[in-house]
Amino acid sequence: MTRSLTILGATGSIGASTLDLIRREREAWRVEALTAHCSAAQLAELAREFDAKLAVVGDESCLPELREALAGSGIEAAGGAAALCDAAARPIDLTVAAIVGCAGLGPVMQAIERGGTIALANKEALVSAGEVMIAAVAEHGATLLPTDSEHNAIFQCLSGSRIEDVARITLTASGGPFREWDMSAIEAATPEQAVAHPNWSMGAKISVDSATMMNKGLEYIEAHHLFPVGLDRLAIVVHPQSVIHSMVEYRDRSTLAQLGPSDMRVPIASCLAWPARMETPLAPLDLAAMGELTFFAPDEERFPATRIAREAIQAGGAAPAVLNAANEIAVAAFLAGQIAFTRIAAVVEETLQTSNLPPRPQNLDEVLAVDRAGRRQAQTIVETGPRV
């Protein structure tokens, strides 16, 4: 039976991995809409290949190029934030939500309010608007399928079990490219070094988040919303081989772990085929060839991001949204050469400490207002503070 889907963020790494799997089972899928921030030529090429009905660029200035690239194809072209939301609102079987950052909040909420099934790869959506989003999922009968490798692993380990029986959920972290570096080397780290992840092929922003360990802090907040076991039952462990993607320990002290290659096509395939399974082109896991799997406690002296994220979700209210906004500003500043690597976490923490946090956001508009305020404050700190 043919299923329909929309991919929000089709030209990024998650979108590319999703389309690779769709390409291998082309007859099983009908592509409704594909979106990108810009990348008009690439988006048009994908829209033509997959016979999409609609292609959307979030940056409206890229729309003329998209229209020209799609001329004669019969594929509708649109641009701007409202067009992204309209694409997400179209009735289809599955929405893959892979837009990076808070730009994905509006489209994800549109898909939720339609009562659809969403493969959620936009971690910022749950970090910034977790309470609002989970409430909307319940209200509209939507289904969230976590696409991050860690949360998808937890989702698989929980299958058929009661959340009340969970004693602990452990997120695994690779430790990033600087895991064995001393502080002096970390302070001098360059953007090129930070984006060179040892295990995963990802975009620049998420690669930097992995290097600072903020990625794991954001995932800790996500897990709190997706799997309501309480903050005291969530843990993080560094696992450099990235073979075990997360673990669930039950109250009888049995622990289930999900293992797989370091390739996002594994969790994406889990979401595409759910509740069944599908083939992927990946080689089988060869544990004997790996030799050993190792584990370490996080070092929050060298990598304070996990502590900062944990304190933000413990504070609750608007703090996680401010954390996410400040992190996006700080990472962008680092990639642009404006601040040193170690200033990323410092800018986030200072933003949280100096922001006049409003009451708990009640809807998406209030979340976005918090996000804008957090960005302004973080930008001021970047511009007026030291480089290191």
pLDDT band per the 50, 70, 90 thresholds, residue 388: low
What gap in Å lies between CA 202 and CA 207, rounded to an integer? 6
Eight-class DSSP state of 307:
H
Q: Is the distance from CB of 333 to CB of 191 less than 8 angstroms?
A: no
148, HSE (Cβ side, Cα atoms, 13 Å): 24
Average pLDDT over residues 58-63: 97
* Total domains, the chain: 3
**Same-domain status, 255 and 367:** no
Within 8 A by CB and 6+ apart from 361, the residues are 129, 131, 132, 317, 318, 321, 367, 369, 370
The pLDDT confidence band at residue 82, using thresholds 50, 70 and 90, is very high
**Mean pLDDT for the stretch of residues 349-369:** 92
Nearest to 270 by CA among 92, 148, 141, 123: 148
Does some domain include residue 267?
A: no
- Judge whether 309 lies within some domain: no
Instruction: Give CA separation, 350 vs 151, 284, 322, 354, in Å.
Output: 29, 45, 11, 6
Determine how β-strand 3-8 pairs with β-strand 94-97: parallel
pLDDT digits 0-9 by tens, 281-328: 999 999 999 999 999 999 999 999 999 999 999 999 999 999 999 999
- Pair (222, 352) in one structural domain: no
Please indicate, yes or no, whether residues 92 and 168 belong to a single structural domain of this protein. Answer: no
Nearest CA among 85, 140, 138, 134 for reference residue 110:
85
Structure tokens at 275: 């509740």
Output the domain CATH number for residue 384: 1.10.1740.10
Q: What is the CATH number for 58?
A: 3.40.50.720
- Residue 339: inside a domain: yes
Shared-domain flag, residues 53 and 101: yes
Kindly state whether residues 171 and 240 are assigned to the same domain.
Answer: yes
Q: Is the pLDDT of residue 32 over 90?
A: yes
Q: In this structure, are 142 and 162 located in the same domain?
A: no
Strand-pair category, 3-8 with 29-36: parallel
State which residues form the domain around 56: 3-146
Instruction: Using the predicted structure, report yes or no on whether residue 198 has a pLDDT greater than 80.
Output: no
156 and 122 co-located in one domain: no
Domain termination site, one of 301, 331, 352: 301
Of 84, 114, 146, the position where a domain reaches its end is 146
State pTM to two decimals. Answer: 0.92
Angle at which helices 204-212 and 343-354 cross, to 10°:
80
Terminal CA-to-CA distance of the chain, rounded, Å?
56
